[in-house]
Structure 1
Amino acid sequence: MIQLEDLTKTFSTPNGPVVAADKVNMTVPTGEICVLLGPSGCGKTTALKMINRLIMPTSGRIYINGEDTTQLNKFELRRRIGYVIQQIGLFPNMTIEENICVVPKMLGWDAKKAKERAAELTDLVGLDPHQFLHRFPKELSGGQQQRIGVIRALAADPPVMLMDEPFGAIDPINREIIQNEFLKMQEVLKKTIIFVSHDIDEAVKMADKIAIFRGGKIEQYDSPSQVLAHPANPFVADFVGSDRTLKRLRLLTAVDVRDIDAPVASMQASVEEVLVSAKSHANRIVVLIDADRHPVAYVTADELSGATGVVSDFAHDLPTTVPVGADLRAVVSEMLSHDTMWITCVDERGHFAGVVTQPAVTAALGQKSSSVRDQATDARLANV
């Protein structure tokens, strides 16, 4: 857990004192990610750097797991905190393994343990240790280097991580991949993380809590759902954007809104049998599956009415399917792309896993926002 109490930083300038951080109070629970957002010069990076004393506070207290860090030597403090920056900062004359092992060796780990940790973490971010550990940074792509920068900060297993726009310099495709890998890793490691970003979409995806800064003060500190649904003031509303309702689509996945009781039948089922299921369901659509429960087609109640035979004679190709863990932004995008009001979900084996409809998505967005994040917590990482 990280606690900031009245954390303040005042800089002296020729024009007088400037307050960069003004009595910042915030608690980040153990195992959660807090993203600091705000315009340039708002104090978010200053607040972050005071935690590991890259910037010395003017006043206030910082507690990590209940310990007042003002009592710690700054070098000892920094060895307890993982730190990731946008520029990565890998040592070019060291191999990837040597880069990752820097802090563990400083802490007195034996070489075997440090190397095992390097291999474990490299594998955790989707890079083959046998291929990458003995390469030099210049032999890696920018996205690969960024992954190494992240796991280097994790090498000594610190309880706390600070991240200063760590994915900001990466192209959108690689940024999405790295974010997903990081969230998978966080699901396993449960670090307490404070993360500076300038991107509200990144914050919504990554954060358990968001702190929005202006003029050195926190304007709102809350869950992404609350910030988007109930901005504290006009500044926050303007900062998160007029499309904030659409941004909330990231907070839920298909598994949260799917209809698992949607009618389903085999391709060889009789029309009479399927028509009973179709008429009893509001959507009036039946998904047809093969012998392995893979959805392959659909029929509607209207076209079956009065017909006989087997449903395969009336089957239409499915417009598309989505993974059951896909976030609702991706689901709605697929609906729009295929001009449909419903979409079939599949599990990781490609088996039928329910149906998502446009009314169900609308209803989810209309729920009290305080419940949205709670419903999505267990499924948040299923989209990666």
Structure 2
Amino acid sequence: MWWIHYGFDYNPLDIRPTDNVVGLGDIEKKVTRSIENGEIFLLYGPIGCGKTSLAMTVSKKLENKFIILYINGEETPNINLIKQVNRALYKDFIIFKIKNKKPIVLILDELQNFSESVIKQAKALYDTRKIHSLFLIQVSEIIQNATPSFINRIHRKISIDFPNEDTIIEIINQRLDGKLMFDEEFLREIILMNNRNVRSVLIELNRILDELEHPISGKITKELIGIKKIESYDSTQNSIIDENIKISPQQAMILEKLLGNELTIKQLSELTNLPYNTVSKQISRLVEKGLLLKKEKNKRVYYSINPAYLSVIMKKFGK
């Protein structure tokens, strides 16, 4: 764990959503305004651009004014929304209930994964004023799992894209808090190599830092990486990216488990419920296509996603 050498209690470059986004001020204002106005609205943009982090940031700032109810469609696609909202609406005491005075904001993340019945419940809750605002989040601008009457009720659609280079550098420097620094020119190369996808950039930086000896006193430069011959960086510098590369359903299962992870064939077999030989065969094909990198660690072979292909893979998952 490289971060313990710099006094961090956790990985500051963790790819999971955070409630402290940088560089999205204008979009944050639009989202906040839509919530305060009591709208049904959609926030859409590519995987890894910060949609969930933005929702968490806004939620944290509004938690004194609203009850924020966040539900993810990947985790609970068929959830009973009415039951969840009623729980949030009333405070349970031993023998009685007290109604919360704060209005409820319902956030449905990964909207494309919810069943149509859940969307209908959300509309009913909004129409009956059980919820103040309905905040929808997904990759695409087009909502395919809702009725025309629901879609016509959407007040606005807010687009979010990957941040520019300067903003991504600001994000990284803020997280590292001056305890560790990358050469800016080298950092810009990594950002461009990963098509400004923040999640992809963080995965690549973690991979680089995992390979180095710590602590490091000076800036991390391309020359330092070159000495260490880090496969994840060197091998992607001269990659020719095939945007139309085909991925089979089994390969997609494997790639999904590898997002942000380094895993062995045995681990992937257990996580995907696919036979070991099947995973081994598909891994070989993915390596041949250039989608995966492999390295030996503790006498085991680990596989990870080639950062150069991460944005392509994410687009395929996001349809």
- Given the two structures, how large is their TM-score scaled by the length of structure 2? 0.30
| Structure number with higher relative contact order (C-alpha < 8 Å, ≥ 6 residues apart) | 2
Q: Which has the larger radius of gyration?
A: 1
- Given the two structures, how large is their TM-score scaled by the length of structure 1? 0.26
Q: Would you tell me which structure has more strand in proportion to its own residues?
A: 1
Q: Would you tell me which structure has more helix in proportion to its own residues?
A: 2
